[in-house]
Amino acid sequence: MSEASHPVHKAVRRAYGRIAATGSGCCGPQSSCCGGGNAQGVALGVGYSDAELATLPEGANLGLSCGNPTALAGLRPGEVVLDLGSGGGLDVFLAAQRVGPTGRALGVDMTGGMLARARANAVQFKERTGLDNVAFHEGQIEALPLPDASVDVVISNCVLNLSPDQGQVWREIARVLRPGGRVAISDMVLMRPLPEAARASVEALVGCIAGAALVDDLRAMVAAAGLVDLVLEPKAGAVDSMLPGDDPLANQLRGLFPPGARIADFIDSLCISAHKPV
């Protein structure tokens, strides 16, 4: 089966296409795939500041984050940054401001609606900031449409868990990074195996849970890709921010876990950093 026809890709593309079209969530008007209806509240809860969010075009923040990778990446002027699964462009626009006019901020997304939204936002971004250093490419993160050794930094925000072949994603990350390049990724990672009902649920998949890798598997994939100096740091409070008690999707997900168990007992948002050897 080709990557383009993989059922996981089809489910993710449908769900995120609806979000791109409506600005609302996967399972109803008050919820989003990885957060509640309050996109601003989710973003603040996972590590963005009011000042950062104020620089964004309207509609770039869809409440789909589980961390703030641009704050982790130590971006410098003139660098080339690639965001995997760039959505409405939130992290691309923040990265573009950090790397400045001599740098580039690139996004890759497989959902046409998200690309259209991000490219429309890029027009607003240029008008607001004067920066013309962003570009959005259509493609899957398992087969990035970029040359070898072409970027300094790879970032991503709550997206790798949606891939049906995360090992291949890590190999692609290593391929496009220049020697000495680095990774700064926020993603959902399993601390222990999920209950079967949650693992099999498409709703949990699109909610950034069922596809999350076990932490030991993540370590193995990063090492197999040839990246070094792996650091995994939990993002305190991120899961609660993403799954508030008044969110329909969050409550649906809670019903897939044993009575008394918390989702955060099984899964956490981790800040993932690593380097490509020189």
- Give the model's confidence band at 32: pLDDT under 50 very low, under 70 low, under 90 confident, else very high: very low
Q: Is the Cα torsion angle 238, 176, 215, 184 positive or negative in sign?
A: negative
Mean pLDDT score across all residues of the chain: 85
Task: Give me the mean pLDDT over the 250-278 stretch.
Answer: 86
The pLDDT tens digits for 98-140 are 999 999 999 999 989 999 999 999 999 999 999 999 999 999 9
Residue 108 Cα distances to 69, 136, 145, 248, angstroms = 15, 6, 8, 29
| Residue 205 pLDDT greater than 80, yes or no | no
pTM for this model (two decimals) = 0.85
- pLDDT of 204 reads 63
Per-residue confidence (pLDDT) for residue 59, from 0 to 100: 77
| Domains along the chain with CATH numbers | 3-275 (3.40.50.150)
Does residue 6 or residue 52 have the better pLDDT? Answer: 52
Instruction: Name which residue leads in pLDDT, 27 or 182.
Output: 182
Mean pLDDT value across residues 140-169: 95
pLDDT (0 to 100) of residue 8: 74
